[in-house]
Chains A and B, each alone.
Chain A
Amino acid sequence: QVQLVESGGGVVQPGRSLRLSCAASGLRFSNYVMHWVRQAPGKGLEWLTMISYEGNDKLYAESVEGRFSVSRDNYKNTLFLQMNSLRPEDTAVYYCAKDYYGPGSHDTGMDVWGQGTMVTVSS
Chain B
Amino acid sequence: QSALTQPASVSGSPGQSITISCTGSTYDIGGHDHVSWYQQSAGKVPKLIIYDVAKRPSGVSDRFSGSKSGNMASLTISGLQADDEADYYCHSFTSSTTWVFGGGTKLTVL
Known: A45-B38, A95-B45, A113-B45. A107 touches B52 (CB 8 A): yes
Select from chain A the residue with minimum beta-carbon distance to B37.
A109
- Please name 14 pairs of A and B residues whose Cβ atoms are closer than 8 Å in the assembled complex, sorted by A: A37-B101, A44-B3, A45-B40, A45-B46, A45-B101, A47-B100, A59-B99, A95-B45, A100-B51, A107-B55, A108-B34, A109-B48, A111-B48, A113-B47
> A89 within 8 Å of B by Cβ?
no
> B104 within 8 Å of A by Cβ?
yes
Shortest beta-carbon distance from B4 to chain A in Å: 11
4 closest Cβ contacts across the A-B interface?
Answer: A109-B51, A44-B104, A47-B99, A109-B36
> A17 within 8 Å of B by Cβ?
no
Given contact pairs A61-B100, A108-B34, A111-B51, enumerate 19 new A-B contacts (beta carbons under 8 Å). A35-B99, A44-B102, A45-B91, A45-B101, A45-B104, A47-B91, A47-B98, A61-B99, A62-B1, A95-B45, A107-B51, A108-B93, A109-B48, A109-B52, A109-B57, A110-B36, A111-B48, A111-B57, A113-B46
- Contacting residues of chain A (72-123) with chain B, CB-CB under 8 angstroms: 95, 97, 100, 107-111, 113-116
> B103 within 8 Å of A by Cβ?
yes
Asked if residues B45 and A110 are in contact (CB atoms below 8 Å), the reply is no
- Contacting residues of chain B (42-69) with chain A, CB-CB under 8 angstroms: 45-48, 50-52, 55, 57
Shortest beta-carbon distance from B50 to chain A in Å: 8
Interface size on A, residues (CB 8 A): 23
Partner of B101, one of A46, A50, A114, A115: A46
* B3: chain A residues within 8 A (beta carbon): 44
* A60: chain B residues within 8 A (beta carbon): 98
Shortest beta-carbon distance from A56 to chain B in Å: 14
Select from chain B the residue with minimum beta-carbon distance to A93.
B45
Partner of A108, one of B1, B36, B100: B36
Q: How far is the CA of A95 from the CA of B87 in the complex (A)?
A: 17
* A47: chain B residues within 8 A (beta carbon): 91, 98-101
Partner of B103, one of A35, A44, A100: A44
Shortest beta-carbon distance from B104 to chain A in Å: 4
Shortest beta-carbon distance from B105 to chain A in Å: 10
